Amino acid sequence: YSCVIVKDGKWGAPKRTEDGSDGGWDGLVGDILAGKGDVIVAPLDHTLKRSTVVDFCFSFAMLGYKMVIRRPSSQAYTWTSYTREFDSVVWPVVLLFLVGAAFLFYLTGFSPSEVAHFTLGDAFLMTFGSLCNQSTYLKVNSGAARVVMIIIYITNTLFFVHYTCFLISNLTVSSESPPFRNLQGALDDGSYYMGYMKSSSIDAAFQFAPSGIYHKAWQEMVEPIHHTLSPNDALGIQRALEDRYVQMIDETHFLSTYGHNCDLLMLSPTYLKVPTTFAVPKGSPLRRIIDY
C-alpha cells in the first residue's frame, strides 16, 4: 500500500461557485471522490454533507470546537484609562451642561441686585473652572445668581466624584474579563472577525447554515474575510494574537498545541460537536474491514 498527503492541505468541503451550482469537493474528500485513494486515514469529522458523498467508519472520538481570542490585559487600556469613565453619550451631556449653565449664569447678571455685570466669557470661565475644581473671582449678590452657582458647583462635584472613583478603581484593579463569553456575545460586540481552518467541517456548517446564529455569524464575522482563511490553525492563532479576531478551533488540538500560551484565552462554550473517524468511497468493502 502507499500513503499520499492531500496536495491542497484541506480536509474537504463543498466548493462554492459564483452561479451557486455544485462545484464538487476539495481536500481529502475531493481526492477520495476523484479515485486518488481508497480510504481517508485521518480524524475526519462526520457531518451530514460529507456522509452524502462518502461512507464513514465507526467513530472513535468526539470533537468540539472552541472560540479562542487574545487574553485581555489591562495594558491594552493604558492610554485610554483616563477617558473610559465617560462613554460617547456622556461627553455631549457635559458639553451641553457647560454651555447651558454658563448662559443661565450670564442671564442672572442682568438682575438689579448685581453691582457689576459680567460677560458671557466670564460666565463660561466660571462654569468650566468649577468643573476643574477651581473657585472664581466673580462676586454675586442676587439670589438667582447664587442659586445657579450652587447648582453648577454641585453638578460639577458629582462629575468629579464619578470620574475619580472610576479612575482609581480602574487603575488599581487589573481586570482580565473577556470582551464576550460566547458566539452571541461576539456578534453583539460587532468589532471582531472570526475564522477557522478553511474547508473544514465547520466551514461548511457556517457557509450553508440556513438561519440562526451560525448563519448570522457567517454573514457578519466570517464571509467578509473568508478569502483570507488558511487551511491550518497556526495562521489563525497568530491572527488572534495580533488582532480583534476569533479562531474557532478543535478543543483537543488547541490544548495539546497551544495550551501553554498564556496570551490565548479559550472560551467555555463548545460548538458543533461531531464524531470523527476514517472515511471510504460510497459502497467500499473496506468499511466493514476497518469497522471490524
Return d(Cα 87, Cα 62) in angstroms, integer. Answer: 44
Mean per-residue pLDDT of the chain: 87
At the top level of CATH, which class does the domain 77-172 belong to?
mainly alpha
3-state secondary structure of 55: strand
Confidence of residue 236 (pLDDT cuts 50, 70, 90): very high
List pLDDT tens digits, range 137-158: 878 888 888 898 899 889 888 8
Domain 14-72+176-291 has CATH 3.40.190.10: yes
What percent of the chain has pLDDT above 70? Answer: 91
Write out the DSSP string of 3-33: ----TT-----EEE-TTS-EEEE-HHHHHHH
Strand partners of residue 274: 63
Average pLDDT over residues 164-187: 80
pLDDT at 22 over 80: no
Cβ contacts of 253 within 8 Å, gap of 6 or more: 233
Orientation angle between helical segments 90-108 and 143-172, nearest 10 degrees: 160
Return d(Cα 287, Cα 279) in angstroms, integer. Answer: 8
Placement of cell 457567517 in the chain: 218
How many C-beta atoms lie closer than 10 Å to residue 155's C-beta?
Answer: 16
Supply the pLDDT for residue 162: 80
Domain boundaries, the chain: 14-72+176-291, 77-172
Q: Which amino acid is at 169?
A: S
List pLDDT tens digits, range 39-89: 999 989 998 889 999 999 998 889 899 999 999 876 555 566 666 666 677
Return d(Cα 147, Cα 112) in angstroms, integer. Answer: 16
Q: How far is CA 292 from CA 17, 62, 287, in A?
A: 39, 20, 9
